[in-house]
Structure 1
Amino acid sequence: MAKILIATEKPFAKVAVDGIKEVAETAGLEVVLLEKYTEKAQLLAAVADVEAMIIRSDKIDNEVFDAAKNLKIVVRAGAGYDNVDLEAATAHGVVVMNTPGQNSNAVAELVFGMLVFAVRNFYNGKAGTELKGKKLGILAYGNVGRRVAHIAKGFDMDVYAYDAYCPAAAIESDGVKAVSSQDELFEQCEVVSLHIPATAETRQSINYALVGKMPKGGVLVNTARKEVINEPELLKLMQERTDLKYVTDIMPETDADFRMLGGRYFSTPKKMGAQTAEANINAGVAAAHQIAAFFKDGCTKYQVNK
């Protein structure tokens, strides 16, 4: 019987673990738990005899793969997977998957929770502005971006999007205006929401020059990855342009400096995009189904490494 390790420094909700176990047991798989671990040594010991892993934001590197002699598959319960060393996984013959779409609504709702908070001046008692009629730019039109667009229409916003890998026709079929570049997106929109992954191409790409193109009163929302922000340049720009606001669920390294901006910045204390009961359950159970399919018939539909 193949063994699945649920290795979560930040645990799933109990109902999610129960759902994972139900899927696994139906497929003839065993589940073991490592929750709230505090040292890497605990993780290294736990992976020694397992064939599969379900993780959240846990860091899985070459050392972990070396320790996991029987490991065949790792599923990241969520969309992002930059916490897994894909090259090391491939070198060890391990398939890595994510669970795209399972957290999309949770992240999209968070975007608007923070956005309303920002345009109402963080509820400081002073008059703010409304979202109705404002131009919202979505940078990357994947599962989350599409959900953000759908919600934005409920606010009567004008929705724009740019995605280098999504055809303009596909964007416009959703009633969203496709623009030809990210520069154009920032120039056109009072609000820009980031949904790009952290890649060699995107790291540090949200910088002084790009954000500086935003109209007066612009709001930047980041629920993507910390690495896509050029923090020193964004901080410099916001010090110069006192009309700009920045809200994020990924605390910057320079959080203390951003807090000096006088009420134009907000960060959650930890990443919150997928922190809902529904997303927690959806992603965990989806991961279990993907592992079951992998062991049953070799399905690698959501594989992210080569």
Structure 2
Amino acid sequence: MRKVLIPTKLDKFAATMLSDRGYQVVLDAATPLDELVKANSDAEVLIVRSEKITPEIIDLLPNLKLIVRAGAGYNTIDIKYARKHDIDVMNTPGANSNAVAEEVIAMMLAVSRHVVAGDISTRKGDWEKSKFMGHELTGKTIGILGLGHIGQLLVKRLSGFEMKVLGYDPMLSPALAEKLGVELTSVEHIFTESDFISLHIPENDETRGMINRRLLELMKPGAMLLNCARAGILNEADLRAVKAEKKIFFCNDVYPKDVAGEKPIADVCDLMLPHLGANTFEANFVAAKRAAEQTIAYFEQGITNCVVNKALPDGLDAKYQKLAYVLTSLTNAYLGKENPTRIETSFYGDLAKYAKWMTPPIAAGIAAEFAPDTTPSDAEHYLSDAGIELVNREVDNNKHYGEAMTIDLFVGGNLIYKASARGTITENNLMISRLNDFDQLYLEPTGHHLFVEYKDEPGVIGRIAGILGEKNINIVDIRAPQDLKSGLSLTVVKTNVEVPEMLVEKIREAVNASKAFQFTYLP
């Protein structure tokens, strides 16, 4: 019998549902977490809300296999440490979304119409009607940073107010944005043009402190900023410096710690709530129900689609990540000593929905020291720190490339020089179909390959083969596509051993090659 530990105030439906399926459930929100964990060290499942799950807590549960966050955000859980100990971490995306979306609207209306101050004043016996002149939402512009479950529901709930909606979310497709009635734009444009700005982005290394003085100074005088996401995304000191000057209104529901006591941000809040975003009976029930359902599906059906710390998402063949690594490594080798400043990717067919999972192998293809099994966000952060811009292009699936991908590396500030490769998986093997304008390459990249690019003329392949033969290097396979527009040819020779650099240089000089390099891929 699997033991499930629920050390939080979660609707009892979860415990009932799990118990009915034969799980042993301990539901206890009163005992301190560390004491409860020590008393239930044999638990295999941990279902939490906002409790902080640290390496120390994880170490106290040697049988732990699954942590379920009954809610969306999981920044309170050390997912990397969990992954190292082969523990899956799930969230229940969307369970709290409607509650948070409605809270945002409640705060917008409360401050715009002086609901709280007006109530306090009237209860005192005052009649300060002229003091509480307010603003309407109708016809105003709202900017939403983050258009996941909450952001999209906020758009729908605001539709009756006839507001113009600006949005920022790199993962949202233009087609879906158009369907929602959202104008996708930059963060800067949102802060410049919006009367209301609502934050719905996660807190991570990329977003921490993202809402800073530079952005806040762009806001309209009298505009309203609402943070029902995470405290760390906002630089409180910068808000404090700008708020009075710009007469910005600020509504807040998130803090570094959900505990009693004075809040340092209180002096700049026009309305502050004790993290009530998900605090509805409906949201608590839905989160509990989904946490239980996902736990059962995980152990009984092997369903892992809500695992947030997995190395590979459901439905993605690991070979495609290897392909992304090979294409990036090959284009990087083609560039030689030039360092890429921009990477552009195209993912065709069903691969488009797995684009972010290709980022770690792409980063590894650029830098040998980067581990390809890291998280997509870590890979994005690594590339950004290296000054390399990563752009995922919209694709035209009418080209019928199937499940294929193209990786382009650009060099220089003007991006005038690039290397490009396309590939796919054929008969369960990696296949490079194109390098630059050398189409129909059809190269299986495993092993040692010598790439030689040169002005097309007779006898070149023979000279290359002769030089290799002199050193007793056996030729396993040869590919020799042409680029008719440029008059260049490419010979790719697969050899039984790696070709020494001195021999590569000799071949370069012998055929007057524009490019000559060794490429080895040994999975």
TM over 0.5: yes
2:35 counterpart letter in structure 1? Q
- The answer to whether the aligner puts 1:56 opposite 2:56 as a matched pair is no
The 1:108/1:167 distance shift into structure 2, 3 A limit, reads same
Q: What SS does the aligned partner of 1:177 have? A: strand
- Between 1:147-156 and 1:217-226, the stretch displaced more is 147-156
The 1:86/1:66 distance shift into structure 2, 3 A limit, reads same
Percent identity reads: 38
* Match in the other structure for 2:102: 109
The 1:6/1:259 distance shift into structure 2, 3 A limit, reads closer
> Quick one: distance in 1 between partners of 2:288 and 2:148?
20
- The answer to whether the aligner puts 1:82 opposite 2:87 as a matched pair is no
Within 5 A, what are the aligned runs for 1:122-133?
A: 122-124=116-118, 125=129, 126-133=132-139
- Between 1:195-204 and 1:40-49, the stretch displaced more is 40-49
Q: Out of 8, 27, 45, which is 1:33 matched to? A: 27
- The structure having more radius of gyration, on CA atoms, is 2
Q: How far 1:275 moved relative to its partner?
A: 0.2
Flag structure 2 segments of 5+ consecutive residues without an equivalent. 119-128, 311-523
* Match in the other structure for 1:297: 301
Q: Deviations over 1:208-257 (max 9, x none)?
A: 1112212222000110000001010011111322x210001124799766
Q: How far 1:83 moved relative to its partner?
A: 0.6
> Quick one: distance in 2 between partners of 1:154 and 1:43?
47
Q: What SS does the aligned partner of 2:171 have? A: coil
Please tell me the root mean square deviation across aligned C-alpha atoms, in Å.
1.8
Q: Deviations over 1:253-286 (max 9, x none)?
A: 997665445xx62211x21100000000100110
> Quick one: distance in 1 between partners of 2:44 and 2:4?
6
> Quick one: distance in 2 between partners of 1:274 and 1:46?
29
> Quick one: distance in 2 between partners of 1:75 and 1:224?
19
1:247 counterpart letter in structure 2? C
Contact 1:34–1:46 at 8 Å: present in 2 too?
Answer: no
Flag structure 1 segments of 5+ consecutive residues without an equivalent. none
Q: What SS does the aligned partner of 1:294 have? A: helix
* Match in the other structure for 2:414: none
- The answer to whether the aligner puts 1:202 opposite 2:207 as a matched pair is yes
* Match in the other structure for 2:37: 44
Q: Out of 60, 63, 72, which is 1:70 matched to? A: 63
Length-normalised TM-score, structure 1: 0.91
Q: Name which structure has the greater RCO, CA cutoff 8 Å, separation 6+.
A: 1
Q: What SS does the aligned partner of 2:152 have? A: helix
The 1:63/1:24 distance shift into structure 2, 3 A limit, reads same
- Between 1:170-179 and 1:214-223, the stretch displaced more is 170-179
Q: What SS does the aligned partner of 2:232 have? A: helix
Q: What SS does the aligned partner of 1:49 have? A: coil
- The answer to whether the aligner puts 1:145 opposite 2:151 as a matched pair is yes
> Quick one: distance in 1 between partners of 2:24 and 2:160?
44
Q: What SS does the aligned partner of 2:59 have? A: helix
Q: Deviations over 1:150-206 (max 9, x none)?
A: 111112211121101212221111122221x11111112110000000011100001
1:94 counterpart letter in structure 2? I
Runs of 4+ that moved beyond 4 A: 251-261
Residue-pair matches, total: 294
> Quick one: distance in 2 between partners of 1:266 and 1:252?
17
The 1:256/1:283 distance shift into structure 2, 3 A limit, reads closer
